[in-house]
């Protein structure tokens, strides 16, 4: 019985420590990763699992043929400290990739990529 209790305590400590060490991760995006859209988006919205530092956040968009697309500066969502909004210009039909980079409030940089297609 003593071993079981010690095992449960150790497991609880491990779970608490791993949640403290967790970094911001992408929770959702609009457009959704891998989606095909009938109309082009006017913005890219990225929502993370924890508040992010907008000063250290960026999104680079590449369009058909991997050509870079000039976007507007990433801004914080005033209603959600976990989200980044990037207004984009009118996008023609084609495949797009958005590479993002941000820093969570824990100070750790995270990065990733989403892709979408405009019909």
- Does residue 14 fall inside a structural domain? no
- CATH number at 40 reads 2.60.40.1220
| CA-based end-to-end distance of the chain | 62
What's the pTM value of the predicted model, to 2 decimals? 0.80
| 40 CB neighbour count, 10 Å cutoff | 17
Residue 40 sits in which domain range? 24-118
- Does residue 5 fall inside a structural domain? no
- Does residue 77 fall inside a structural domain? yes
pLDDT in tens, 25-80: 999 999 999 999 999 999 999 999 999 999 999 999 999 999 999 999 999 999 99
User: What's the total number of domains in the chain?
Assistant: 1
Which residues, in sequence order, are CB contacts of 47 under 8 Å at separation 6+?
26, 27, 28, 29, 80, 82, 83
pLDDT in tens, 81-92: 999 999 999 999
- Does residue 71 fall inside a structural domain? yes
């Amino acid at each position: 019985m003593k071993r079981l209790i010690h095992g449960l305590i150790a497991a609880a400590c491990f779970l608490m420590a791993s949640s403290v060490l967790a970094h911001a991760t992408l929770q959702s995006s609009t457009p959704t990763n891998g989606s095909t859209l009938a109309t082009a988006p006017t913005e890219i919205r990225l929502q993370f699992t924890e508040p992010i530092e907008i000063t250290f956040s960026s999104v680079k968009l590449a369009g058909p043929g991997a050509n870079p697309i000039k976007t507007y500066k990433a801004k914080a969502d005033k209603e959600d400290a976990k989200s980044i909004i990037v207004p984009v210009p009118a996008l023609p039909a084609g495949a797009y990739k958005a590479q993002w980079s941000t820093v969570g409030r824990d100070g750790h940089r995270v990065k990733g990529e989403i892709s979408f297609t405009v019909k």
